[in-house]
Structure 1
Amino acid sequence: MKNTEVLEERITAQGCTEHLSAVEDAIYVIGGKWKLKIIIVLQENGNIRFNELQRNIPGISARVLSNELKDLELNGFVKRVVHAEQTPVVVEYISTDYSRTLQPVIMALSNWGKTHKRNIREDAF
């Protein structure tokens, strides 16, 4: 596999440090096993209740999902909506406009993942 991407400008030591810092910040916020999966499910389903969200993400425990949702809410990716006027009280989670700014990143990761899997299969066999 050859790299066909051409860098338009030379990255300086300071630029490299800035890029590394920015990537580190992004990974801190959306990294881990579950955060991007949660964001993707929320973007695909719109308003969704906790149990339905858990069913859509195989293997995640209620405790982990709860903690991840709190982190995502603190960072502006998820909005928790409580419908207290209903009995029983209904709580829904929705993706925010800010979380939708991740769509190009998610699509790029998806495309890269597909290419990587294809390259691994071709090289392995």
Structure 2
Amino acid sequence: MSKEDLKYTLNNKFYTCTFEITMDLIGGKWKPLILWHLGTKGTIRFNELRKIMPNITQKMLTQQLRELEADLLVNRTIYAQIPPKVEYALSDTGVSLMPILSSMCNWGQNYYTNAIDHSIQINK
């Protein structure tokens, strides 16, 4: 790949298209789920997210939230109290992803329904 193919630079990373930027920011197993839960449930504390997503480790959730915060998709609010209280919410940029995530959710529902219908037909 030549340097001419790398058309976009963001945070010292080089990309060939804006879709690649999007996937870098929200791709993976956990980020879309975290964004979806924050978008549908509103402001959530760390342990509430862990309960909603029981298969994610504490370390991975912390890492993913930090990356989403660094990418300005999630806001983190720390309250000065004992015990410490930290809440997470979508930023305005994160909120702008909700129509996309909603479309993905609808697509998954349609796929699931079709897969179930198909498997029932096969089993008959």
Matches of 1:101 and 1:109, distance apart in 2: 14
CA RMSD, Structure 1 to Structure 2 (Å): 2.0
Tell me how far 1:104 sits from its aligned partner: 1.1
Structure with greater proportional strand content: 2
Report what 1:45 is aligned to: 41
- Out of 8, 11, 18, the residue aligned to residue 22 of structure 1 is 18
Work out the number of aligned pairs and report it.
107
Structure 2: gaps of 5 or more residues: 1-6, 8-15
Once the two structures are superposed, the pairs formed by residues 58-73 of structure 1 within 5 Å of their partners are 58-73=54-69
Q: Does 1:107 align with 2:113?
A: no
Amino acid at match of 2:43: N
Output the amino acid matched with 1:89. Answer: P
* Structure 1 Cα separation of the partners of residues 118 and 87 of structure 2: 45
CA distance in structure 2 between the partners assigned to 1:29 and 1:58 by the alignment:
23
Q: 1 CA distance for matches of 2:105 and 2:48?
A: 24
- TM score, norm. by length of structure 1: 0.76
Q: CA offsets, 1:62-105, max 9 Å, x none?
A: 00000000110011111111111x22221111111111101110
SS for the counterpart of 1:58 is coil
- The answer to whether 1:117 aligns with 2:117 is no
Q: Which amino acid aligns with 1:87?
A: I
**1:87–1:40 distance in 2 versus 1, CA, 3 Å:** same
**Distance in structure 1 (CA, Å) of the matches to 2:85 and 2:37:** 19
Structure-2-length-normalised TM-score = 0.76
Q: Quick one: distance in 2 between partners of 1:53 and 1:98? A: 20
Gaps of 5+ in 1: 1-16
Question: Does the CA-based 8 Å contact 2:39-2:98 persist in structure 1?
Answer: no
Q: What's the secondary structure of 2:37's corresponding residue?
A: helix
What is the percent sequence identity of the aligned residues?
A: 35
- The residue aligned with 2:84 is 89
* Separation of aligned partners in 2, 1:100 and 1:32: 19
